[in-house]
Structure 1
Amino acid sequence: MELLTRSTIRILATRDCEMITHFDERNLDQVFYLFHIGDFVVGEKAAHQEKITLAPLESVTAISLERFMLPNNIIASISTRSSLNLKKIAMFASTHIDPLFEGRLEVLLSNLSQVPVELRKGDTLGKLYFYRFNANDDISSSSNKTGSEELLRRKEYQLDDDTGKQWI
């Protein structure tokens, strides 16, 4: 398994397979990408609020701003951002993103402090480390028909496809 570096993540996010929508170069470090709050879920629907205040011991589901479309040979690990930990906000999420995952990440944020904490759209949620787990399975290779077909299918995806969906 190979940890992807800044240049490879940038290429996958912007040119080869549009792995990260709403990609922002400022969120790309040497070996990870910072992902952010895009919306909050209150009840069964996206709340469309710019900010939310969590009372002590209160929780909310956050949906990432970024949409991810991982190739068939890439896996991502999820890490909490230390700035959340310092506010005593715990993030509960899967430990990884599977190959071929398409969508936004949903995480549970819980305020473990004794004071209210404000969260805003655009706040950093965590870090994603991307790994290529099979160096012989390159999605850009024209000799790999399955990979090429997957790439073409993903190129046709329109970001507007998720407009109006309810996130539960």
Structure 2
Amino acid sequence: MNAYVAQFEKDMEMFFNARAEEIVPGGMMLLISPQLSERLLKFFGSSLMALVNEGKLDESLVNSFNVPVYFPSIEDMTKVVEKNDCFSIERIELTHPKSELVDEADAKTLMINLRAVYEGLFINHFGREIAKEAFTRTILKSDEISAWMKINYKKACQLFITLKRK
């Protein structure tokens, strides 16, 4: 995880420096960072392990697979903004953009969206057929995912940041 934190800090430093060239002093910038739980990706992992158990996939391929994502906390984001020193934090909070994200359609839509984001990684590592099967199986778990979301997505699920150019 330390490598992800270091990369996040490096990427955000470059991002803030670029935005500092574009935004006039006193200008505002809003950032929204999804706080998607890594647990959602584990639903995909369980589909992959089912394929291992059926003999369709070698477990070493699953064990060597890594999804390069990092979801910064308020503290992480505050640290990089303060270190960069081009912006001041006017507001930073975890928010929940929707009061209820609980039905099967929402879970299925979310999994389809995650497929759009991660499918290329899966195809490159596992091949097209295994990736397709893993995503199909995961989308079929909409009821289980929905039950998990009912409990966990009543909590804040995005980081909302308002910054002011110094």
The TM-score normalised by the length of structure 2 is 0.23
Larger Rg: 2
Larger strand fraction of residues: 1
The TM-score normalised by the length of structure 1 is 0.23
Larger helix fraction of residues: 2
